[in-house]
Amino acid sequence: MTVANDQFTFLQELVYKRSAMVLSDSKAYLAESRLMPLARAIGISDTGEFVAHVRRSHDVKLEEQVVEAMTINETLWFRDKRPFDALRSHVLPDLISRKASARQLSIWSAASSSGQELYSVAILLEESFPQMRDWRVSLLGTDLSREMVDKATSGVYSSMEMNRGLPAAMLIRYFSQSGSSYRLTDTIRSKVRFQQMNLASTPWPSLPVFDVILLRNVLIYFDVGTKQRILQEARRRLSPGGYLLLGTAETTSGLSGEFETVSAEGAVFYRVKER
Amino acid sequence: MRVLLVDDSRAMRSIVARILRKIGIFDIDEAADGQEALDRVKAGPVPDLALVDWNMPVMNGLDFVISVRKEGEFRSMTIMMVTTENEHGQIVRALAAGAHEYLIKPFDEEALIDKLAILGFVGNLDEASSEQVHS
Amino acid sequence: MTILTSENIADLTQEIWSAMLSEHAPLMPGDAPAGDIQAAVDIAGEWNGTVGLSCSRDAARIATGAIFGLPDDEITEADISDAVGELANVVSGNIKSLVPGPSTLSVPQLHDGSWTDHPGRLALVLEVRFSWVDEPVVVRVWTDDPH
Ligand SMILES: C[S@@+](CC[C@H](N)C(=O)[O-])C[C@H]1O[C@@H](n2cnc3c(N)ncnc32)[C@H](O)[C@@H]1O
């Protein structure tokens, strides 16, 4: 027996309840391969039987693991490249000149997955903005998944992960060997912080304001109402003149009228409209 | 653009060639070891990009990089190692010898395309349109 | 230093399968013992041993067809040796990074699949069995290193 239709509906509801992600019907094929390891771990050899067990047990820990297993965590270094070029050539120079007296900068990766996005920013700062070494730079990453938060915090990546978008010159400069994996140097790791946070549970807990918010490749999984609530919250966490960056397939248009776009290097950033 | 695939495994050359063709790169030449690759480069035309395995009979990939970098005229050729050798120290050696990039086997299609983008060979990086290629 | 465990080998072999044979279903844990074909690669240096990748003839043909993009009736013996050899090469290269280095890899040697006695009298220390397209795939590791 495999995952039946009504069981997939149960999974969709569970995922929606805990993460607000809308799991499309076309993802049904994923259930089998993603849930098998969890089923085996508790001695069940059949995914259908496993889902039935999850349904009966109301075990919150197990539900959380199911949601994590059904979540797409795909991420890579310097994803899409152009937003990072734009950070280097426009966004950061602008922020540096405007914040030159405060000498403080804060950046938030709001669905940080295994950390590559935030670490890419940290590496970029280290490479291209040596003049900021004595600034107070705060780099925060948050994700719904505890497992991803732990992985990001460890800063250890497999060769398959290193292959995805990381220039070899940066690999040799910022990583060391750790068995068959690679570990980020402490200079970079000590600059960032990761914690768990559910973007869909609004209002958000008290957070500082950020000069740059990276909210990338996560809105696509939400329904319109959730997207709107999240954008509204994000708007309130942007410092005056701060920048919001979305994924390539994401936009604020039709969701919020409070942003205007700025383009640089072929990447689009959002800023709060002046009134 | 012209690519030279240097790998003693026909299977690996076939995998890489298929990905390259998929993104519109058709001018592909192959060599089964470092010596053959060196002869090919010297005979010309010089490829824009060489993708080079490390462990090969006759002449290994690192020695190929060292030899080809001795000849100033081939400096325009971009070199990326594509190998199971994955130690930090080896990556350092390959880059010091004159390779520009390094891809560890196994890799998937996206990883190869990401690396070509880093090297400036694949133009548009939006995931939806990674099909565009510089000539 | 990471240690050689069945779990590590299962992970890396599954990763290799999904990267190199992405158009087929993933490699799953299995229980069938040996195959018809085995490609073996020696690791020599700080750590000495042999890695064998074996599979059924059908699995080998399907993998070869996928790797070369060839229909089944155009696949030659040479293609099969080359494809299985390269899969073994990538598996061993990744196993090499789990054992103490430095060391080097030999070119893959093709044997018949039931070749479980290593000629150099190294001990078989690990055997990890998979199932792929309903066919058996097995990774074996021989070494004289007791760890
Ligand atoms: C596809 S990844 C994107 C990672 C990264 N931002 C990037 O663009 O490469 C999506 C991430 O969003 C996280 N996520 C999904 N729902 C979430 C929620 N409600 N709150 C916070 N994070 C969530 C997932 O755990 C996953 O790590």
Query: Domains in chain A, start-ordered, CATH in brackets?
Result: 5-71 (1.10.155.10), 82-272 (3.40.50.150)
What residues contact residue C139 under an 8 Å CB cut-off, 6+ apart? C9, C13, C51, C52, C53, C91, C126, C127, C128, C130
**pLDDT band (50, 70, 90) for residue B135:** very low
Q: Which fold has domain C6-143?
A: Chemotaxis protein chec (3.40.1550)
**pLDDT value at position B71?**
84
B134 band by pLDDT with thresholds 50, 70 and 90: very low
Q: Which of A180, A181, A182 to mutate to test the interface with C (most CBs of C within 10 A)?
A: A180
Of B92, B100, B111, the CB nearest to A163: B111
* Distance from Cα A143 to the centre of ligand 1, integer Å: 6
pLDDT digits (tens, 9 = 90+) for A154-170: 999 999 999 999 999 99
Lowest mean pLDDT among A19-28, A110-119, A133-142, B30-39: A19-28
- Give the best residue of C90, C94, C96 to mutate against chain B (max B CB count within 10 A): C90
A165 in contact with B at a CB cutoff of 8 Å?
yes
Closest Cα partner for B25 from B102, B119, B95, B101?
B119
Per-residue CA distances from C114 to A219, C35, C140 (Å)? 53, 7, 11
Please check whether residue B80 is in contact with residue B53, taking contact to mean a CB–CB distance below 8 angstroms: no
User: Nearest Cβ partner of C1 from A33, A160, A179?
Assistant: A179
CB contact under 8 A, B86 and C105: no
* B2 interfaces chain C, CB cutoff of 8 Å: no
Output the six-digit token pair for C52. 């064998």
Mean pLDDT in residue range A49-60? 93
Which residue, by CA, sits nearest to atom 13 of ligand 1? A111
Three-state SS for A213?
strand
Helix-, strand-, coil-residue percentages of chain C, each rounded to 5: 35, 30, 35
Q: Considering only the top CATH level, what class is B2-126?
A: alpha beta
pLDDT score of C2: 56
Residues on chain A touching B127 (C-beta within 8 angstroms):
80, 248-249
pLDDT tens figures, B20-66: 999 999 999 999 999 999 999 999 899 999 999 999 999 999 999 99
pLDDT of residue A151: 97
User: Does residue A180 carry a pLDDT above 90?
Assistant: no
> If pLDDT is split at 50, 70 and 90, which confidence band does B125 have?
very low
Q: Where are the domains of chain C?
A: 6-143
Closest C-alpha to B13, from B32, B41, B37: B32
Mean pLDDT of chain B: 90
Mean pLDDT of A218-232: 96
Closest alpha carbon within chain A to B109:
A164
C36 touches chain B (CB under 8 A): no
Task: Give the confidence band of B100 by pLDDT, cuts at 50, 70, 90.
Answer: very high
Ligand 1 probe mutation, A218, A230, A246, most atoms within 8 A of CB? A218
Q: Which residues of C touch B85 (CB under 8 A)?
A: 93
What is the reported pTM?
Answer: 0.92
Sequence spans of domains, chain B: 2-126
CA of C25 to the centre of ligand 1 (A): 26
Which of A32-46, A84-98, A198-212 is the least confident region?
A32-46
The mean pLDDT value for A63-86 works out to 94
CA distance B6 to B13: 8
Model confidence at A37, pLDDT cuts 50, 70, 90, reads: confident
Q: What ipTM did this prediction achieve?
A: 0.89
- Residue A126, pLDDT above cutoff 90: yes
- The confidence score (pLDDT) of residue C33 equals 81
pLDDT at A1 over 60: no
Strands B78-83, B101-104: pairing is: parallel
